[in-house]
Amino acid sequence: MTTTTTTPSRWKRFRNSYLVYSFKRDWIAQCCLAIFLCLLLGAICAPWLAPMNPYDLTQISILDSELPPMWIDGADPLFPLGTDAQGRDLLSTILYGARVSLIIGFGAVILQAVIGVTVGLLAGYLGGRIDAFLMRLADIQLSFSTLMVAIIVGAVIKAIFGGATYSAYAVWLLVLIIGLAEWPQYARTVRASVLAERSKEYVDAARVMGYRDRRIMFRHILPNTLSPIFVISTVQIANAIISEAALSFLGLGMPETQPSLGSLIKSGFDYLQSGSWWITLIPGTVLVVLVLVVNLLGDWLRDVMNPRLYKG
Amino acid sequence: MNAVATQASPATPTSSATDSLLEIRGLYKHFPLAEGFLEQLRFEKGRLVRRNDSVHAINGVDLAVRRGEALCVVGESGCGKSTVARLVMGLLSPSAGEIRYDGHRIDDLRGKRLLPYRQRMQMIFQNPYASLNPRMTIQQTLEEPLRFHHPEWTTPQIHDKVAEVMASVGIDPEWGKRFGHEFSGGQRQRIAIARALAVDPEFIVADEPISALDVSIQAQVLNLLMDAQAERHLTYLFITHDLAVVEHFGTRVAVMYLGTVCELADTRSLFARPRHPYTQALLSAIPRLEDNRPEHVRLSGEVPTPVHLPSGCVFHGRCPHVTERCRQEVPQLIATDDGNRVACHGVEEGRL
């Protein structure tokens, strides 16, 4: 009974919220959301939208390699954005690659958020030695750059399990590596807001009621720290996509056979000087647009939710 | 005048375990100023020394709250009255001393073992704008303690109880779907009172529950608290700095100064005949319409810092009746001839 009465009011509250109000008045946010949703939809529906499957070797012919996009002479109308060095349709590969990039971006951010929020809550709420230990751990983690950690871990795993195993689990390994490398961003932000919330009287009231620490942390404090978490999530998704692209570009990310946007850029890089610029530039543009719209959405969200919050 | 030191040992309160619900004995609470080792290091006279100063918030408080009474704790800000409330509720742990509830020591209990007492003693907070979780509806706020303390109750039972407790504080049960920020300060404080009453406590610690409210609302909330006391046979530990409220509400009054209780008396006799020089100064500061009484007692100086406590009586620096003994010896709470207790050498010696 309660759910039927609260659901419409929640939707109504959302529609009347300042979030929606400012969204309606911000054309940049609207454009960004539209572009982001197009890319997201294209990536999700890649198997149905793409003219061919770049993972299926039987559909690829080396004779089609390095065909230019359709607005240049010598193009094949079958391949609207041209083909890469192996004869894969670039449009299809970009759609599939965006899918890989987005999976890694979202997956890594979810992992970061789970670790970071838990650590931040524990550190901020329990305080004392636990706080000092966890935050020094975060400092140590932050002092290694993401790329360095990823390169070392990726190289070690490749060396131990071999290239074939690495290729099979590359997506999840990248999620793990990027997720583990960037959790302190969340931990610090969450800890800061937990420290502010912990001193409020509703937390004292909950303690006086005798609730256990876990309940107070997750049911009472966490919901009140959600807005900064949302804001850094958008920034971190963009960061994770960039990290994945950088790793793939260095040859430590997605293998050539299941390219992400980053490994597509890399595969075309060798042909940039020989005139086949589209293999690098078109996926590069898609990557830039994707990261830009996510970042702009994050900036907008930050301004709406908390103008004083420093960018995560 | 004619004070008699009948009993000079405050460590054994006169009230027996049966008629006092809460007993505080020799309570101390220090807050260290510097937590970390590096923060404690100081460079003094060319040498590196480690100093660990602390704020002496509570310095040997003995109190007993009798069943069914409203014990008011008054004092100026920073005298430690809120700290006493938080220590009693287990939000802070004492540096020394013990707190007994119904004869059982509770200050060293943790977690599950404290849970039965959580239901029997509840707290009302000062700031109704901060004491309700902004992300929870009123219904959720009130249901959560019931579901937590009575897991065996069915949902209709819980809804009935929430509706009953909301009605009893004058909040329409229909408003349960709303959030805290949709209410005024007085309504929020009523909701906070409802939350405390939901688990059917017998003892309520109220930490300045009306000082954040509009004057017109203060009386309503105060009357609500008094009605609840009559209906539910509640015992209050009521922290306030408003002497008018004390006169209206309190059965007994404890006056605190710099972390110590300087006078503990029945409300009527305290207002009629304050014994401690600090209480006299405090009461003379109340503006009265029929002000034909003698001059205000003007205190000189400031309240000393609780970091470096004065020797002897904490009030000696500002007391008009100070003697050498006051500067040396800490006065104990002694019983006076009218059954009240006061911590003053002057009263003990019969010169006040």
By Cβ distance, the residue of A201, A210, A211 closest to B125 is: A201
Of B106, B121, B133, B200, which to mutate for an interface test with A (greatest number of A Cβ within 10 Å)? B133
User: Which residues in chain B have their CB less than 8 angstroms from residue A1's CB?
Assistant: none
Q: What are phi and psi of B332, to 5 degrees?
A: -100, 160
Q: Cα(B345)–Cα(B330) distance, rounded to whole angstroms?
A: 9
Cβ of residue A4 closer than 8 Å to a chain B Cβ: no
Q: Cα(B14)–Cα(B25) distance, rounded to whole angstroms?
A: 12
Task: Name the more confident of A61 and A191.
Answer: A191
Residue A27 C-alpha, separation from nearest chain B C-alpha, in angstroms: 30
Six-digit token string for B290 = 């029929």
Calculate what percentage of chain A has a pLDDT beyond 90: 24
The position carrying tokens 């937390």 is A203
Say if CB A268 and CB A84 are below 8 A apart.
Answer: yes
Asked if the Cβ–Cβ distance from A209 to B145 is below 8 Å, we say yes
pLDDT in tens, A81-140: 777 777 788 888 888 888 888 999 999 999 999 999 999 999 999 988 899 999 999 999
Residue B76 C-alpha, separation from nearest chain A C-alpha, in angstroms: 21
Asked if the Cβ–Cβ distance from A207 to B91 is below 8 Å, we say yes
Distant-in-sequence, close-in-space partners of A105: CB < 8 Å, separation ≥ 6: A237, A238, A240, A241, A244
pLDDT of residue B1: 40
Residue A219 C-alpha, separation from nearest chain B C-alpha, in angstroms: 10
Report, as an integer, the average pLDDT of A137-150.
86
**HSE value, Cβ hemisphere, 13 Å, CA-based, for A227:** 17
Cβ of residue B284 closer than 8 Å to a chain A Cβ: no
pLDDT in tens, A38-50: 989 988 888 888 7
DSSP B280-307: HHHHHTS--SS--SPPP-PPPS-PPPSS
By Cβ distance, the residue of B131, B148, B177 closest to A202 is: B131
Q: Cα(B52)–Cα(B42) distance, rounded to whole angstroms?
A: 10
Global pTM? 0.80
Six-digit token string for B331 = 């006065």
User: Which residues in chain B have their CB less than 8 angstroms from residue A219's CB?
Assistant: 144
Asked if the Cβ–Cβ distance from B149 to A210 is below 8 Å, we say yes
With a cut of 70, list the residues of chain B below it in pLDDT: 1-18, 35, 290-295
Of A1, A10, A201, which to mutate for an interface test with B (greatest number of B Cβ within 10 Å)? A201
User: Which residues in chain A have their CB less than 8 angstroms from residue B139's CB?
Assistant: 2
Asked if the Cβ–Cβ distance from A210 to B118 is below 8 Å, we say yes
User: Which residues in chain B have their CB less than 8 angstroms from residue A211's CB?
Assistant: 144, 148
With a cut of 70, say whether residue A2 has pLDDT above it: no
With a cut of 80, say whether residue A163 has pLDDT above it: no
The two beta strands, B20-32 and B54-66, are antiparallel
In chain A, where the domains are located: 105-312
Q: How many CB atoms lie within 10 A of CB B328?
A: 12
ipTM of this predicted structure: 0.84
The two beta strands, B341-342 and B260-266, are antiparallel
Classify domain B21-37+53-289+299-349 at the CATH superfamily level. P-loop containing nucleotide triphosphate hydrolases (3.40.50.300)
User: Which residues in chain A have their CB less than 8 angstroms from residue B86's CB?
Assistant: 204
The residue in chain B having the minimum alpha-carbon distance to the alpha carbon of residue A202 is B131
Cα dist from A45 to A31, A34, A92, A95, A96, whole Å: 21, 16, 11, 8, 9
Helix (H), strand (E) counts: chain A: 13, 0
- Of B114, B98, B95, B85, give the one whose Cα is nearest residue B238: B85
Q: Find residues 132-161 of chain A whose CB sits inside 8 Å of chain B.
A: none
**Assigned fold of A105-312:** MetI-like fold (1.10.3720)
User: Which residues in chain B have their CB less than 8 angstroms from residue A206's CB?
Assistant: 133
Q: Number of A:B CB contacts under 8 A?
A: 62
- Of B319, B348, B306, B350, give the one whose Cα is nearest residue B331: B348
Which DSSP letter does residue A89 get? B
By Cβ distance, the residue of A201, A204, A224 closest to B135 is: A224
Report, as an integer, the average pLDDT of A57-74.
74
With a cut of 70, say whether residue A243 has pLDDT above it: yes
Cβ of residue B157 closer than 8 Å to a chain A Cβ: no
Q: Cα(A128)–Cα(A118) distance, rounded to whole angstroms?
A: 16
Report, as an integer, the average pLDDT of A293-301.
88
pLDDT of residue A8: 56
DSSP B15-65: S-TTTEEEEEEEEEEEEES--SHHHHEEEETTEEEE---EEEEEEEEEEEE
Asked if the Cβ–Cβ distance from A210 to B192 is below 8 Å, we say no
Res. A312 pLDDT band, cuts 50 70 90: very low
User: Which residues in chain B have their CB less than 8 angstroms from residue A202's CB?
Assistant: 130-134
pLDDT in tens, A244-289: 888 888 877 787 778 888 888 888 887 877 777 888 888 889 989 9
Provide the CA B193 distance to its chain's centre, in angstroms: 17
The residue in chain A having the minimum alpha-carbon distance to the alpha carbon of residue B205 is A208
Cα dist from A133 to A130, A136, A144, B10, B34, whole Å: 5, 5, 17, 44, 18
pLDDT of residue A37: 93
User: Which residues in chain A have their CB less than 8 angstroms from residue B122's CB?
Assistant: 208-209
